Amino acid sequence: MVIGRIVDGIAQGVEEAGAALSETLFEPVIRLGVTGFARAGKTVFITSLVANLMDRGRMPGLAAAAEGAITGAWLQPQPDDTIPRFAYETHLAALTGPAPRWPEPTAAISELRLSLRVQPRGFLGSLGGPRNVHLDIIDYPGEWLLDLELMDRSYDDWSTETLARAETRPSAAGFLATLAAADPLAELTEPAAQALAAAYSAYLSAARAAGYSDCTPGRFLMPGEMAGSPALTFAPMPKLAERAPRGSLRREMERRYDAYKARVAAPFFRDHFSRIDRQIVLTDLLGAIHAGPGAVEDLGRAMNDILGAFRPGRNAWLSRLLGQRRVERILFAATKADHIHHSQHPAMTAIMEAMLRQARDRADFAGAETRAMAIASLRATTEEMREVDGRELGMVRGRLDSGKQAVLYPGTLPEDPSRLLVPAREGAERWLDGDYSVMKFAPAAGTLKPGEGPPHIRLDRAAEFLFGDRLR
């Protein structure tokens, strides 16, 4: 604003430059990262968050909204010209249209800028006048964070470690057979490279499905628009006594690995990840509990891996890139809490907190504030009490994909999280205390009212933790 006033008296051209400069200099920007593995609920979270920030009737837990300090909210062109815009309108239309449905899966990074007009309340606040705060939301696959492991490793080291792990896993048999049949010294042919890469990708997908989270390169699981490019067509090969000659299969695999690091993985960390101020990591906790102890243990491991990316010092390459920059707050949120009655939400939150504690015990987030929460970005159910065998049970009712209404009692989550986490860690095959069921409810129709966004559970609290302090 000072710059604006100084240039006022000079020339028109300078004034315009000053206006652009003052916008970038004086209007605060919050860069909010939204991540989680495939189907964790990223797209639904962003769509509902933005809709609920534009129409704030359902956001009492966001202090600035409750106090009336947010006087306007609008979408703007995003600042990054090279990544796709988050398809907000398309996703909102899917979720809240006449025949509501869940949005299509998204396989790449995208961004959206929501600008908020904020007039802080109270005596001090009203002195300052209104200001604009920009919320840049970046949606990116959690799988991409796994690539941090590669940045410090040469192709030889990565191959040696990856192959040692693969040899202990039955699901790698197909890939190892293809590898054994390949001649590392033969001149590269594209079909040979593709066959090896395809066998390796198939193994990675199987390893992921079996619950391993050490599945690099991350883009082999989530290739996005890079599928089929040479930088994504390689595989680990055993180290040779001497360097393979130029043009050979192994030498080319090494070159592509380096290209992947430099041209695919590094730009994401440099241009996007390193600029994030606040981060939400979404997980499908109830889905994992339903799938059994193995899936819960894997979720804990994956959470640890993802959170590891936010631990400065773990990776020398990342530390150099970040310098003094740090993500300030990390929210670890279990989505789809609308699958259980609210009387069970404290138990769900306790499980999340216990998992976060485990991950935190292993990592030092150097000042980042972390929290765990159970939320539903889009509430698809209503609650009701029913008597079963003389017991009052809290149930949820919703519409199944088939259009039929269903009432579900998903099981009782234990109040003590260790009843789930200990058997999971000890490798139990199934839960002793009973089963947990999950149904796939469709989004409910006719939920939008004037001045309100889509119904949710604790989305306002999540927003308050993530960026509420920046709206005061």
Ligand X SMILES: Nc1nc2c(ncn2[C@@H]2O[C@H](COP(=O)(O)OP(=O)(O)OP(=O)(O)O)[C@@H](O)[C@H]2O)c(=O)[nH]1
35 binds Mg ion (CB under 5 A): no
Provide the minimum distance between the beta carbon of 286 and ligand X in the complex, in angstroms, as a whole number.
9
Scan for tokens 């990223």, then name that residue: 42
Strands 441-442 and 391-400: antiparallel
Which amino acid appears at position 55 of this protein? Answer: D
Name the phi and psi angles at 73, rounded to 5.
Answer: -150, 130
Tally Cβ neighbours within 10 Å of residue 244: 18
Nearest Cα to 73, choosing from 89, 52, 44, 96?
52
- Nearest to ligand X of 256, 379 (CB atom): 379
Pick between residue 58 and residue 336 the one whose CB is nearest to ligand X.
336
For residue 43, state whether it binds Mg ion (rule: CB under 5 A). yes
Q: Of the ranges 36-44, 154-162, 292-300, 388-396, which one interacts with Mg ion (CB under 5 A)?
A: 36-44
Q: Which does 440 bind (CB under 5 to 8 A by kind): ligand X, Mg ion, none?
A: ligand X
Asked if 457 and 338 count as a contact pair (C-beta separation under 8 A), the reply is yes
Partner from Mg ion, ligand X, none binding residue 178, C-beta < 5-8 Å depending on class: none
Nearer to Mg ion, 350 or 380 (CB): 380
Nearer to ligand X, 105 or 346 (CB): 105
Q: How far is the CB of 293 from ligand X (least distance, A)?
A: 22
Q: Phi-psi category of 351—alpha, beta or left, where left has phi over 0 and alpha has psi -120 to 50?
A: alpha
For the CB of residue 144, give the shortest distance to Mg ion in the complex, in Å: 13
Q: Is 110 in the site for Mg ion (CB under 5 A)?
A: no
Tell me the DSSP string of 106-172. --S-EEEEEEEEE---HHHHHHH--EEEEEEEEE--GGGGGGHHHHT--HHHHHHHHHHHHTT-GGG
Residues that bind ligand X (CB under 6 A): 36, 38-44, 102-103, 105-106, 141, 335-336, 338-339, 376-378, 380, 440-441
DSSP for 193-211? HHHHHHHHHHHHHHHHHTT
Measured from the CB atom, is 304 or 377 closer to ligand X? 377
Q: Which does 441 bind (CB under 5 to 8 A by kind): ligand X, Mg ion, none?
A: ligand X
When asked if residue 48 is in the footprint of Mg ion (CB under 5 A), the reply is no
78, 106, 110, 381: which one binds Mg ion (CB under 5 A): 106
- Residues near Mg ion (CB under 5 A) are 42-43, 106
